[in-house]
Amino acid sequence: MPVSLTPRERVSLKGRAHALEPVVQVGTAGLTDAVVTEANRALAAHELIKVRVGGADRDVRATTITALCERTDAALVQKVGKIVVLWRPREDTADD
């Protein structure tokens, strides 16, 4: 289930993401299983990541971003050009 953000949370996350560099890149092959796996790995480690989505067609990029958010259960924090910021809270592993 994708996470939803309040406007205040979104502003806070944008501020935290400003200094980040993209850690995942969606290339010409599109949204592959390897890209989703790497995005999941980065979200699990950092919670907040930047992703570079390649391609010249704006509609294709928008579809790719939506699919990436759905497949990773992450919230879209911000989209500027070909760079998007995703956030997913860490899963608590201390379930006793």
pTM: 0.89
Mean pLDDT of the chain: 92
Domain spans, the chain: 7-87
| Burial (CB count within 10 angstroms: exposed 0-12, middle 13-18, buried 19+), residue 58 | exposed
Q: Which CATH class is domain 7-87?
A: alpha beta
Over residues 62-89, the pLDDT tens digits come to 999 999 999 999 999 999 999 999 999 9
pLDDT of residue 75: 96
Share of the chain above pLDDT 70, in %: 93
pLDDT at position 96? 45
Q: CA separation (Å) from 39 to 17, 50, 74?
A: 16, 9, 10
